[in-house]
A and B are shown apart, each in its own frame.
Chain A
Amino acid sequence: MTDTISDIFETLKEKAASESAGLKGGAEVLITVGTATCGRSAGALETLAAIKAAVKENSINARVMEVGCHGHCYAEPLVSISKPGWPEIYYGNITEGLAPFLIKNFLVNEDPALEWALGAVEENEIVPSVYYSPRFGGELRRLLARCGRIDPENIFHYIAEDGYSGLVKILKASPVAAIDEIKKSGLRGLGGAGFPTWRKWSAVEASAAEKKFVICNADEGDPGAFMDRTLIESDPFALIEGMTIAGYAVGAKKGFIYVRNEYPLAVERISSAVASARREGLLGTDILGSGLDFDIEVVQGAGAFVCGEETALINSLEGRRGTPRLRPPFPAERGYKGCPTLVNNVKTLSYVSWIMARGAEEFASVGTKDSKGTVVFALAGKIRNPGLVEVPMGTTLRDVIFEIGGGIPPVIKPSQLPGEKPVMKARAFKAVQIGGPSGGCLPESLLDTPVDFDSLREAGAIMGSGGMVVMDEDNCMVAAAEYFLDFTVKESCGKCVFCRVGVKHMLDILSRITRGEGAEEDLATLEELADKVKRGSLCNLGKTAPNPVLTTLRYFRNEYESHIEEKVCPACECEKLIAYYIDLEKCRRACDACVGSCPTEAIYTRSDRLKAIDQEKCVKCHSCLEACPASYDAVFLVSPANAIPEQKPDKKSDGARDGGGPEKRKE
């Protein structure tokens, strides 16, 4: 049988070799465009069309290929060109308008247009490699290795890039060997909780039940997290292979991929990938002639965050209301339709293929004592180079944010007047929110925390699905906590009283505080409610819902106190506690940039032709502050709202404020 498996796989590999010829420096020009969801929202499809048109117009002999997401959001749309005689080069921010010039310059005029290049993909003597930049060089890509490098809809590209070698290896061994390998690797669930993967596997395997199931949890719902989507859109076969291995290991013949329906492209790509795998005999009956039967069904969620909780997911899959069930029994004992069910996250299952192909030892060669391997973060917020970042477990937050992410970008006021220089105001780091609505906000003093399951939990955050939102001094921590609680209140299923009612009361208190109506005893009530919700809730969504409040109270208590006691929002973010004013000493008569920018006509021209803001009409949109030319810099933002310094009165019209408005502009 072992020979049959090898023979069949060899045939597939030969086909793969011919299909993917040219992916790595062939004789032909290869142009790739990252057209996953994030690329598309940056205009990748338009870029793709422009490239195709330019290639045709210039009669260039080139292959244009769509690939998945590279994870470099700041550089989308991202294009790569491999031209014989040149290293493969990545180009960033290639918009529709730029694309024809890039094609013409490089492919017709032999000018590699390095001004738009991020760098070469490999070391060479002509073009500097992207790996000299920490954004590329600081990463260790395993899960993301194929993302953006292959056509995600072509199974042979996957096979050519080492795909399915893990399944072949383990099919020749035994199911127990698969579980042993996972155990040896130390892989922990990358969906958030970090439960040892092998324990779930061996619990399902140990059951004598005839019917068992494997479920891939792809109901990624944390605000700011998009790594599961990217993996499915860019490298779907790794997940399919991982699930097949899991099915083989635990003795399940059927698998489900539960994808949220807000991910239409992911649904499309995974469905097409499942069909391809079936066509090539890598799903279905007698896979690779090994006698293994395993098939996968793609199911779409209906848009409930709570369905990312495994028991709610199973309820939803069964056609029931998506609410969590009491655990125990755990799904490994009684899951889908009462049968033992293995539920793993996209990243965990994708990593299984990697581990089977490369071995547990290589997997565990990086990481910390109890968290092995790498972890993928979705870096977002106030950060220079947002996107997906894969680093070894144990890398410090500081390295992820300041080295790889490039740190906090300054606020830039571009030049508006002739001869004016743009003004850059550096911004200081304040906090990083890790783990989505169940996670916490960590302050600067904890930047040297290594990112692994246990260190983050100790600090009050969680690994979660890996969302990492960076906040700077302009972000209010009370407002941040309010944002996440608002999310949880909207997404609570309503089943148990602590989450349904308790979190709502917490949110109401936070909203009162950000409105400047907080009372002294509010913080004690918040803390007490948080403690009860954490201990009393039925499921983990409820148990972790207070984390954003608890961590901000722990690390940024002074911000809460100034909201309550002084009605001051130190970050000047909470609308009710701030005010904008124009410093008349700095305001210039000839300019009315702010007047034009105001959407509510709150800014009027005084009789001395200087400008002032009618506080009653102001909606605090920040437009005037941005519109005021850098060389005047006359608009100021203060908190509390009554802290506007006294201005010299408008001589000609006393009480100009009530008379303020458009008619004053005539002067």
Chain B
Amino acid sequence: MTEDVTIYIDGREIKAKAGQSLLRAALDNGVYIPNLCDLRERETPEASCRLCFVELEGVPEPVTSCSTVVEEGMVARTDSWRVRELVSAAFELLMTTHPVDCAACPGNKRCALQEIAKKMKFKLKSGRLPEILRDAPLDLSHPRIGYDSDRCVMCGRCVYVCNEEVDARAIDFIHRGLKMTVGVFGGGPLAESSCISCMRCVEVCPVKAFYEKTKETDV
């Protein structure tokens, strides 16, 4: 029995649930805001992908909508130039660390990055910034799950479900800075982790860095 609040996004009146994040309210009502790290199940947002910026009336700088709780009468814009320049910068930076070889990718056509590029009319490849790729080896040690850490966008969804939801504690963020990646504690292969093959990481991965092995792709 949560109360409804009325908010306005891009001039549209929207009934949102009290306590809900602005991002969820928008998505639930058909307003697209790009995002990678947000998970509906999560109580406190990760706020690390920096893609869901919106501009709020009365707030000088754009804010991330995942970390903004809706308030009665809130007025937000998703399409202002200030929002767009931040989101496009975040996307451009992210894409310099992600190999764009979609045809060879198990996530092709199911990929959040392709979706963002299409809906926001962004280019997948930066025209001016060089690529910074990790070139890490594929982890095919697990019987059902393949893991390509090169494709990982560090959204942390898999880390959240594995640790907080399933409590398998097989994977976490390891290393820091540009070397940061999702991996097994100590750097070993997935098969030697405490993975229980629940496949939740595969389900939540927006870019299919974690993917289910098939006969065609991997053995």
**Chains A and B are bound partners:** yes
Q: Enumerate chain A interface residues (CB-CB to B < 8 A).
A: 304, 306, 321, 323, 325-326, 489-498, 500-502, 504-505, 508, 521, 525, 528-529, 532, 535-538
B96 to chain A, nearest CB (A): 6
- Pick from B46, B93, B128 the residue with the most CB of A within 10 Å: B93
What chain B residues lie within 8 Å of A535 (beta carbons)? Answer: 61-62, 86
In Å, the complex CA distance between A489 and B180 comes to 12
Cβ of B49 < 8 Å from any Cβ of A?
yes
- Tell me the bound Cα distance from A525 to B85 in angstroms: 14
Q: When the two chains form their complex, are residues B45 and A494 in contact, meaning their CB atoms are under 8 A apart?
A: no
Are the CB atoms of B178 and A489 closer together than 8 Å? yes
B154 touches A494 (CB 8 A): yes
Bound CA–CA A535/B96 (angstroms): 20
Question: Would you list 5 pairs from A and B whose C-beta atoms are within 8 A, ordered by A residue?
Answer: A493-B180, A496-B47, A498-B89, A501-B96, A505-B129
Chain B positions within 8 Å of A508 at CB level? 130, 132
Q: Is the CB of B86 within 8 A of A497?
A: no
Tell me if A501 and B178 are in contact (CB < 8 A).
Answer: yes
Shortest Cβ gap from B67 to chain A (Å): 5
Contact with A along B56-97 (1 / 0, CB 8 A): 000001100001000000000000000001100110011011
Chain A residues within 8 Å of B86, by CB = 532, 535-536
Known contacts A492-B176, A532-B89; can you find 15 more A-B pairs with CB under 8 A?
Answer: A323-B173, A325-B44, A489-B178, A491-B177, A492-B177, A492-B178, A493-B177, A494-B175, A494-B179, A498-B50, A501-B97, A501-B132, A535-B61, A535-B62, A536-B50
Give Cα A325 to B132, complex, Å.
26
Task: Give the chain B neighbours of A532 by CB distance below 8 A.
Answer: 85-86, 89-90
Please report the C-alpha to C-alpha distance between residue A500 and residue B132 in the assembled complex, in whole angstroms: 11
Q: Are B50 and A494 in contact (CB under 8 A)?
A: no
Docked CA distance A446–B63 (Å): 34
A326 touches which one: B53, B67, B85, B96 (CB < 8 A)?
B67
For residue B171, give the distance in angstroms from its CB to the closest CB of chain A: 12
How far apart sit A467 and B1, CA to CA, in the bound complex (Å)? 54
Q: How far is the CA of A501 from the CA of B85 in the complex (A)?
A: 16
Chain A interface SS verdict (over half): helix
**In whole Å, how far is A650's beta carbon from the nearest beta carbon of chain B?**
44
B172 within 8 A of A: yes
Chain A residues lying within 8 Å of B132, measured Cβ to Cβ, are 501, 504-505, 508
- The listed residue (B46, B47, B173) touching A494 by CB distance below 8 A is B173
Contact (Cβ within 8 A) A498 B93: yes
Contact A504 B89, CB 8 Å, known A326-B45, A496-B48: no
For chain B, give the interface size range.
Answer: 20 to 34
Chain A residues, CB < 8 A from B130: 508
Residues of A within 8 A of B154 (CB): 494-495, 497, 500
Question: Is there contact, CB below 8 Å, between A321 and B172?
Answer: yes
State in angstroms the CA–CA spacing of A230 and B130 once bound together.
44
What 5 pairs across the A-B complex have the smallest Cβ distances? A494-B180, A532-B89, A501-B93, A492-B177, A326-B47
Chain A residues closer than 8 Å to B96, beta-carbon distance: 501, 505
Task: Report the Cα distance A525→B173, complex, angstroms.
Answer: 30
**How distant is the Cα of A500 from the Cα of B176 in the complex, in angstroms?**
9
When C-beta atoms are compared, the residue in chain A nearest to B53 turns out to be A536
List B residues 98-118 near A (Cβ within 8 Å): none
Tell me which residues across on chain A come within 8 A of B129, comparing CB atoms.
505, 525
Q: B94: which A residues are within 8 A, CB to CB?
A: 497, 501
Given the known interface contacts A321-B172, A525-B128, A538-B48, the answer about A498 and B90 at a Cβ–Cβ threshold of 8 Å is yes
Say how far B22's CB is from chain A's closest CB, in angstroms. 14
Interface contact B97-A495, CB-CB below 8 Å:
no
Report A493 CB to chain B, min CB distance, Å. Answer: 5
List the B side residues contacting A505 at CB < 8 Å: 93, 96, 129, 132
A337 to B98, CA, bound (A): 36
Contacts A494-B154, A501-B132, A532-B86: A538 and B177 contacting too (C-beta < 8 A)? no
Q: Are B47 and A538 in contact (CB under 8 A)?
A: yes
CB distance from A339 to the nearest CB of B (A): 16
CA distance A492 to B94 in the complex (A): 15
A521 to B: closest C-beta gap in Å: 8
* Whole-angstrom CA separation of A495 from B86 in the bound complex: 17
Known: A500-B154, A505-B129. A495 touches B48 (CB 8 A): yes
The complex places the Cα of A163 from the Cα of B128 at a distance, in Å, of 60
How many angstroms between the C-alpha atoms of A269 and B129 in the bound complex?
Answer: 49
A540 to chain B, nearest CB (A): 14
